Amino acid sequence: MNVIQLRQDPTSDNAIISLVEAARAKFAAEFFGSGQDFDSMIWNVKLKADRTTSNTRPRLYFTRYGTLDAPLPAVFADVIKSWLILRPWSNIHSLGSKLDTARLLWEAILTRRKNAADGFRWDDLCEEDLNQAELLMLDKWFPSTAHKAATRL
């Protein structure tokens, strides 16, 4: 089990730790017996699909945007995983879209931090990170898709 190390405001530290603990418990219940691990950089969510279609993304990759093998740092990924698992799942495709939004947010954070991922804290997230993430979305997606995704942030 990953241990989240947070600094500064103990109230936010406790809130994030509680969030991730609740998500781990829900993940364990939802995927009981599947052999999956909350800490994995890939989740197979095919079991959660009501029906499989060619458009369904059966796997969620908690990796940097555009990669399948460069994992997001645990301090970031654990909160994103918690955000996804604790929300009602309307469909599997929407989970992939939400995750892609978070992956681009990470890219924006890295840009502001000059690619220094070490020491990232959620307390450091700022409006400029959100603005830069939206610009990245506009660069990669249709404007309507980027706008919808940016409102999720």
Looking at the predicted structure, is the pLDDT value of residue 115 above 90? Answer: no
Q: Do residues 66 and 140 make contact, with C-beta atoms less than 8 angstroms apart?
A: no
- pTM for this structure? 0.82
**Angle at 152 (CA atoms; ends 147, 153), nearest 5 degrees:** 100
> Regarding beta strands 59-61 and 42-44, do their DSSP bridges make them parallel or antiparallel, or are they unpaired?
antiparallel
Nearest to 80, CA basis, from 55, 63, 57, 92: 63
Residue range 33-58: mean pLDDT, rounded: 77
pLDDT confidence band for 72 (50 / 70 / 90): very high
- The pLDDT score that the predictor gives to residue 117 is 83
Reading the block at residue 35, the tokens are: 């052999």
Q: Is the pLDDT of residue 93 over 80?
A: no
